Amino acid sequence: MTALTLSTAGAATLRADALVVGVAKAGKTLVVAPGAEAVDKAFDGRLAAVLETLGASGGEGEATKLPAPAGLKAPVVLAVGLGSAPEEGESYDSETLRRAAGTAARVLSGTKKAAFALPVASAEAVGAVAEGALLGAYSFDALKEQKDGKKPLAEVALLGAKPRDKAHKAAADRALAVAEEINRARDLINMPPNDLYPATFAAAAQAAGKDHGLKVQVLDEKALAKGGYGGILGVGAGSVNPPRLVRIAYTHPKAERTLALVGKGITYDSGGISLKPAGHNETMKCDMSGAAAVFATVVAAARLGLEVNVTGWLALAENMPSGSATRPGDVLRMYGGKTVEVLNTDAEGRLVLADAITKASEEHPDAIIDVATLTGAMVLALGERTFGIMANDDDYRTAIHEIAGEVGEQSWPMPLPADLRKTMDSPTADMANMGVRMGGGLIAGLFLQEFVGEGITWAHLDIAGPAFHEGAPFGYTPKGGTGSSVRTLVRLAELTAAGEL
């Protein structure tokens, strides 16, 4: 993992392999962002002019390298674009800084130490730059025998941040904990399904539990059968790798509220008997992204010492076709007794989540939030960078949407139209796992709502779009697993601990 330090050294005097500065657009003029004054001075006040000559415009995502002049200890200067310069008296927003730092960290892969001279006047800005750099430096190469690629940036030194300032230090410490847990989630998502299956995922949770003082309980296939978890067992019936339900809990002695987080953990989704066509199954190792996000959030809450109880439920199964697999038309008796006719075995995530939500409800938490790569319909509706939010409480849905925006995650509130519920009626069971095709993401939310305990606030995050990025990296977002929703969930836990939700 990339090391993080706060440095009081000047940009001109700190020894590093590269020096990162910010540039922005002020009308038609390129300007150097605060924090880089000493660097600009080393260029005789002509840093912006030199960068313009090299074609830099200051646009977000832009990165321009140039050799450092005499007067700087670092041999290379990297200028990253911050977009439009803020109005006088205002500052760069956190997400702009986060993405710029992430871009710089990616560009500087193979570098040992980089000094970041970006605008960090506030603790919030310190946290954003630190988080962006640590996330941008991420690389998954654990399974590569030949390490022929560049290693991730080894050390980030934040210039202008004050190591003796309690707010700055706290912001940096928080950024480190959150970024490392997001990267934990990314690692799990990127693991191939022959290495990560329900039993090994559960083992990872147990190992983390020992490291961070968490209580971990694992229900194997025998315990699931004894307990009547028909949804999880039905989804996992076709695989040689049996399912698991993991409860991983962080508790604080002063906590007055409890959050239950439920994650979909389909470690590989072939679609089952309703087999996915070629072109739709190659990345289905990522169908456990919700469980990875929940797992990472619980550990982050523990590392941050939040005064709130956070219980994670990881519903783990592998959805495979075989002679023992659940068939379209089968009826499953879910945990709690409700029966569900399975019309499509590729609508399996809601089945494992339903069992876990019912179980979580028995503990009477103040709120349940489930997280899942649940429907392709949500991707069609919102695209590949935005997750949908549904809830049985409009104010809670709005709060989560606002929290996501605060931490830099794109989301959008979605409705739960009551008229769609009747399309899941079944002649042979209490309900079916499918309804009409149009509005499929909303129907999935309506299905899950049926299993929430009475009087419990509930929200559903469908992260099918942003959970796994197949395109070129951008900002702090890598190719592959992203760790989508972890920042939102951690901030939700913080605000719940503070009594603001």
What is the enclosing helix (H) or strand (E) of 487? helix 486-497
**Is 421 designated active site?**
no
Instruction: Identify the three-state secondary structure at position 318.
Output: strand
Q: Distance between CA atoms of 109 and 78, rounded to whole angstroms? A: 12
Nearest in space to 343 (alpha carbons), one of 355, 359, 332, 358: 332
Alpha-carbon distance values, 218 to 152, 181, 267, 347, 478 (Å) = 35, 21, 16, 24, 31
Q: Check: CB of residue 408 under 8 Å from CB of residue 178.
A: no
Give the dihedral sign, CA 316/318/323/329: positive
What is the enclosing helix (H) or strand (E) of 457? strand 457-462
Q: Distance between CA atoms of 317 and 237, rounded to whole angstroms? A: 9
Phi/psi for 288 (5° steps) reads: -110, 15
**Single-letter residue type at 113:** K
Phi/psi for 44 (5° steps) reads: 60, 35
Question: DSSP H helical segments within 191-228, as ranges?
Answer: 198-212, 221-227
Enumerate residues 6+ apart whose C-beta is below 8 A from 335.
227, 228, 229, 230, 231, 232, 354, 355, 358, 359
| Catalytic residue chosen out of the listed positions 25, 73, 276, 385 | 276
Structure tokens belonging to residue 51: 């960068």
| Catalytic residue chosen out of the listed positions 184, 285, 350, 491 | 350
Q: Check: CB of residue 232 under 8 Å from CB of residue 315.
A: yes
Instruction: Identify the three-state secondary structure at position 410.
Output: coil
Q: Check: CB of residue 155 under 8 Å from CB of residue 3.
A: yes
Phi/psi for 117 (5° steps) reads: -105, 60
**Is 350 designated active site?**
yes
> Which residues are designated catalytic?
276, 350
